[in-house]
């Protein structure tokens, strides 16, 4: 921390501008964040209730002593690497507001791409068969981001089953679907991978744990110290969950079903091989994330797409 910024000086900040200046310097100089200015703004917006543009437009506005004290606490926790989404309790995912806390993984932008691919597939299916009754499943639902955004953005989707082995994650996911008004079409099921599914589905989505424990040191402390390990790690080479998932998937699908799977940046070949093993006549398409890494697979299980 630079010698002139401390928890006490920040707690004594009188204006929005002074608070932002101090907090940005603190986060930058401790290298706690790749985006010190953004983090400082998001946390101050959370404390004051003002939007980020308003904060920047009125640096002379006053903070109450209570707001300044709360802000100093939050910035100090961020300097200790706690993720912003756990500090504010919110994260936007596909334009929707999700509650976030340590019961579940913070939803990531690359997972939005997985859901967008599934929405594209759903729209194509409804164009072809407008009255189709389509069923989806989200395996390892965590915060519920995948299941709830799918249901919210595609009201024609009849129902979504969302499973997780963690009752705590399912409790958070339930809160999220209630807030987003889609709980009537989502059924939460606790259990191992696909085991709880009560019927075969048309679309099967999963963002399962895929980090090998030996690679834990490559993850930032924001992740390893704060996010649930149950959401991160998979045995052996990180593929234990996906191996079991692919082995069981064929028994849980309607004819012509499509799978959408997220995986680690170096797992494309292994995942493609697992997909071909389970669906020898299917077709696999690989999608990239914003950085250009291969990060998800779309598996059309019928040969019609190959
Ligand atoms: C990488 S997180 C993904 C969370 C959420 N789908 C998302 O994309 O933000 C993986 C989730 O799988 C769950 N999980 C881990 N092992 C599981 C298992 N054997 N069966 C079902 N869910 C499991 C974890 O609790 C966690 O919520």
Domains of the chain: 7-80 (1.10.8.10), 93-305 (3.40.50.150)
Using most ligand atoms within 8 A of CB, pick from 140, 148, 186, 239 the residue to mutate for ligand 1. 140
The C-alpha atoms of residue 76 and residue 79 are separated, in whole angstroms, by 5
Dump pLDDT digits (tens) for 82-115. 999 999 999 999 999 999 999 999 999 999 999 9
- Predicted pLDDT of residue 302: 84
The tokens describing 43, both together, are 């946390």
Dump pLDDT digits (tens) for 172-197. 999 999 999 999 999 999 999 999 99
Task: Please report the atom of ligand 1 found closest to the CA of residue 106.
Answer: 9
Q: Is 93 exposed, middle or buried (0-12, 13-18, 19+ CB in 10 A)?
A: buried
The tokens describing 14, both together, are 């009188």
Mean pLDDT of the chain: 95
Contacts 24+ apart (CB under 8 A), 66-71: 68/10, 68/11, 68/12, 68/13, 68/14, 68/19, 69/11, 71/10, 71/11, 71/13, 71/19, 71/23, 71/43, 71/44, 71/47
Nearest to 185 by CA among 223, 152, 231: 152
- Predicted pLDDT of residue 304: 56
Contact 276, 306 (CB under 8 A): no
Task: Please report the atom of ligand 1 found closest to the CA of residue 193.
Answer: 20
Dump pLDDT digits (tens) for 250-285. 999 999 999 999 999 999 999 999 999 999 999 999
The tokens describing 118, both together, are 């599934």
The C-alpha atoms of residue 24 and residue 94 are separated, in whole angstroms, by 28
Q: pLDDT band at residue 130, thresholds of 50, 70 and 90?
A: very high
211 ligand 1 Cβ < 6 A: no
The tokens describing 37, both together, are 């200015």
- pTM attached to this predicted model: 0.95
């Amino acid at each position: 921390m630079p010698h002139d910024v401390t928890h006490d000086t920040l707690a004594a900040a009188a204006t929005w501008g002074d608070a932002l200046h101090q907090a940005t310097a603190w986060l930058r100089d401790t290298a706690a964040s790749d985006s010190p200015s953004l983090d400082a703004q998001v946390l101050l917006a959370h404390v004051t209730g003002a939007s980020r543009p308003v904060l920047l437009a009125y640096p002379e506005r006053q903070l109450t002593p209570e707001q300044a004290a709360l802000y100093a606490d939050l910035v100090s926790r961020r300097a200790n690497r706690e993720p912003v989404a756990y500090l504010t309790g919110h994260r936007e995912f596909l334009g929707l507001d999700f509650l976030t806390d340590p019961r579940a993984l913070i939803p990531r932008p690359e997972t939005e791409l997985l859901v967008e691919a599934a929405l594209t597939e759903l729209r194509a299916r409804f164009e072809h068969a407008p009255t189709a009754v389509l069923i989806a499943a989200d395996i390892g639902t965590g915060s519920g981001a995948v299941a709830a955004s799918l249901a919210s953005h595609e009201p024609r989707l009849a129902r979504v089953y969302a499973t997780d082995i963690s009752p705590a994650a399912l409790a958070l996911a339930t809160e999220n679907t209630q807030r987003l008004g889609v709980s009537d079409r989502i059924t939460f099921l606790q259990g191992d991978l696909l085991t709880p599914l009560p019927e075969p589905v048309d679309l099967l989505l999963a963002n399962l744990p895929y980090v090998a424990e030996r690679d834990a040191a490559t993850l930032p402390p924001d992740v390893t110290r704060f996010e649930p390990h149950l959401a991160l790690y998979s045995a052996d080479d990180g593929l234990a969950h996906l191996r079991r998932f692919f082995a069981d998937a064929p028994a849980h699908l309607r004819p012509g079903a499509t799978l959408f799977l997220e995986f680690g940046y170096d797992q494309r070949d292994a995942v493609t091989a697992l997909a071909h093993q389970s669906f020898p006549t299917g077709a696999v398409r690989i999608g990239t994330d914003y950085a250009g890494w291969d990060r998800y697979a779309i598996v059309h299980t019928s040969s019609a797409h190959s």
